[in-house]
Amino acid sequence: MDALIRRPKTKILVDGGDPQETLRVKNLTGVVDGQTTNPTLISKNPEVRSEVSSGRKFTPREELDEYKKIVQAISPLVGDAGVSIEVFSDFNTTAEEMFAQGKEMFSWVSNAYVKYPCTHEGLRAAQMSVEQAIRVNITLCFSQKQAAAVYAATKQSKQPVYVSPFLGRLDDRGENGMDLVANIKKMFSAGDGHVLVLAASIRHLDHLLGAFALHAELATAPAKVWEEWAAKSFPLPGDDFAYQGHDKSGNLLRPIPYESLDLSQSWEIFDIRHELTTKGIQQFVADYKSTLKQSAKV
């Protein structure tokens, strides 16, 4: 296998919850800049899965300890793009509760980023975090307005803030998720550069190349996508690369038009509601609860 000779400008992040996978990717590419995790990925960690399938269920504290153990095993394998650790939240979780979790998670490893959902409470928690120099990654982003709100809510941050547009989940419903990345990059080009675009929900090599071509600052992909990239000798998109998004039936994905938004407005002006953010939270809650004792209070 060839070594990684020409690095993309985009940072390389592994999307997963298994340190062994991170190590495998690192052995192939020579470098992994960071890692993203979420409640679904943690519930799929081999040790967590094997405990759950042999009948064990966790209390919320035990689940958190498992999460911490996984993050601490991953942290030394990755670089300064850090390990993104997601708070557990449902629709009743207040910003203060998310922030309390975030503070604890941030203390687990020196390269932590705390992931908050792109909701009103999530953004309030992000505001509290950046005031205390806690690095944040705002997840479940599906619209340009949400990204604008992330920008406006975290303006005081002295450190880079990540926003994670989920391309694959937009593709799944026929919209061209890559357009969202392009639109956010274009919108942020008029900004102060404090928010970095982390292309997420990457499902295949073309997504990866599209994110590289758009100069997304970071891209997170499952180990299997990085393995495919390595197997093909680490291709990078040429100047003529044109991303063509297709759905599973081969139809072209619907374009997402650019919106002219004023980044200097207060974040609360932006309509940040999105059906996929709601669905994403529901899924994370369900996957988190699947590892818990029935009687456990979340």
Site for ligand E4P in 168-207 (CB under 6 A): 168-169, 200-201
| Residue 220 lies near ligand E4P (rule: CB under 6 A) | yes
| Residue 146 lies near ligand E4P (rule: CB under 6 A) | no
**What six digits make up the tokens of 129?**
């975090």
As annotated, the active-site residues are 115
**Which member of 166, 212, 234, 270 binds ligand E4P (CB under 6 A)?**
166
**Which member of 35, 129, 164, 277 binds ligand E4P (CB under 6 A)?**
164
Site for ligand E4P in 28-57 (CB under 6 A): 36, 38
Q: How far is the CB of 89 from ligand E4P (least distance, A)?
A: 14
DSSP string, 49-65: HHHHHTT--B-HHHHHH
Candidate segments 2-10, 146-154, 165-173, 224-232, binder of ligand E4P by CB under 6 A? 165-173
Q: Which of 166, 168, 256, 221 is nearest to 8 (CA)?
A: 221
Candidate segments 66-74, 96-104, 160-168, 233-241, binder of ligand E4P by CB under 6 A? 160-168
| Minimum CB distance to ligand E4P smaller for 261 or for 272 | 272
- CB neighbours of 14 closer than 8 A, spacing ≥ 6? 21, 22, 25, 32, 34, 35, 36, 78, 220, 221, 222, 223, 226
Task: Please state whether 31 falls in left (phi above 0), alpha (psi between -120 and 50) or beta.
Answer: beta
| Residue 135 lies near ligand E4P (rule: CB under 6 A) | no
Alpha-carbon span 30 to 18, nearest angstrom: 18
**Residue 155, Cβ density class (10 Å: 0-12 exposed, 13-18 middle, ≥19 buried):** middle
Binding site for ligand E4P (CB under 6 A): 15, 36, 38, 139, 164, 166, 168-169, 200-201, 220
